[in-house]
Structure 1
Amino acid sequence: MHIGELARRTGVSVRALRYYEEQGLLVPARAANGYREYTKAAVDVVGCIQLLYAAGLSSTKVAEVLPAACRDAEGVVLSGELTGELETVRARLIGEIEERQASLRLLDEVMAAACWDGVTLQEENPLPHVGLRMGLTGLAAEPG
């Protein structure tokens, strides 16, 4: 498939795909006319690249990790330094996930403590919700 088709299938711009090629992350074959030709596997590779970038890795780190991430990972050895960096990224992502889960719990509590009138949320109880405050601060709600 040509670069435009790969862009369409992956939702990644042609410019980004060319950048991936410049960085050595994506290696298309070249047709006699000079056009890039990608295999179906390139769709998965682009997906891996996107996920690694979303995790906060630099192009250099993506290039180091990519063979283990979405290609034939057998026999791929990651250095101790890189493994340590990936553990740090993983810990950061877990923290972000936990923060998002706390946000979801908060929204669930707010919605459970309120009734929907079709336009705005109206609190059933004018006092601060004890569970809500405990979840945010670890402190019980103070009356009044």
Structure 2
Amino acid sequence: MRISEVSEQTGVTPRLLRYYEEQGLLVPDRDSSGYRDYTATDAEVARRIRQLLDAGLSTASIRTVLPCLTERAGRLAPICEETIADLKREQERIEESIEALTTSRDAIATVIAAGTV
């Protein structure tokens, strides 16, 4: 598949697909003339990368997490066991951010409500 086809299927721009490749997150094959040749698996990986970025993970974290998203012979890769602790810390950080944002939102709503009386 060409980069334009993967972009259309995944909603990830060609520019971002190239960036994912630069970051070592996506490794498409190359044809004899040097053009990228994406597979259906590459498209799925691109979708996962986008989801993880949207969730707030850095590309460095994603590079570690990606192998954990695929089971091998019914078991997760050994590196995944180490990664789980990192992901739990990241999850806690995100939850703390959500709580702080919720508190800020509620404070703003209180001020707005007081001003409209």
TM-score by length of 1: 0.59
Q: How many Å separate the matches in 2 of 1:46 and 1:58? A: 14
The two structures, once aligned, show a CA RMSD in angstroms of 2.7
Maintained 8 Å contact 1:55/1:89: no
Provide Cα deviations, 1:25-73, integer angstroms capped at 9, x if missing partner. Answer: 111111111110011122211111111112221111101100112x335
Higher helix share: 2
Structure 2: runs of 5 or more not aligned:
111-117
Inter-partner Cα distance in structure 1 for 2:71 and 2:27: 15
Percent identical: 38
Letter in 2 for 1:87: K
Q: Size of the alignment, in residue pairs? A: 102
State the alpha-carbon separation in 2 of the partners of residues 3 and 20 from structure 1.
12
Q: Which has the larger radius of gyration?
A: 1
Report the counterpart of residue 115 of structure 2 in structure 1: none
Distance 1:88 1:75, change over 3 A: closer
Q: Cα offset for 1:93?
A: 4.4
Which residue of 2 is the match for residue 21 of structure 1?
21
Q: Which residue identity does 2:15 align to in structure 1?
A: R
Higher RCO (CA 8 Å, separation ≥ 6 residues): 2
Change (3 A) 1:83 1:20: same
- Scaled by the length of structure 2, the TM-score of the pair is 0.71
Task: Note the 1:38-77 alignment, pairs <5 A.
Answer: 38-69=38-69, 71-73=70-72, 74-77=75-78
Gaps (5+ residues) in structure 1? 104-135, 138-144
Supply the distance in 2 between the matched residues of 1:63 and 1:12 (Cα, whole angstroms): 18
Does the 8 Å CA contact 1:2/1:36 hold for their aligned counterparts?
A: yes
Q: Which amino acid letter does the alignment assign opposite residue 28 of structure 1?
A: P
Tell me, in whole angstroms, the C-alpha distance in 1 between the residues paired with 2:71 and 2:84: 18
Distance 2:13 2:76 in 1: 32
Partner-residue secondary structure (3-state), 1:24? coil
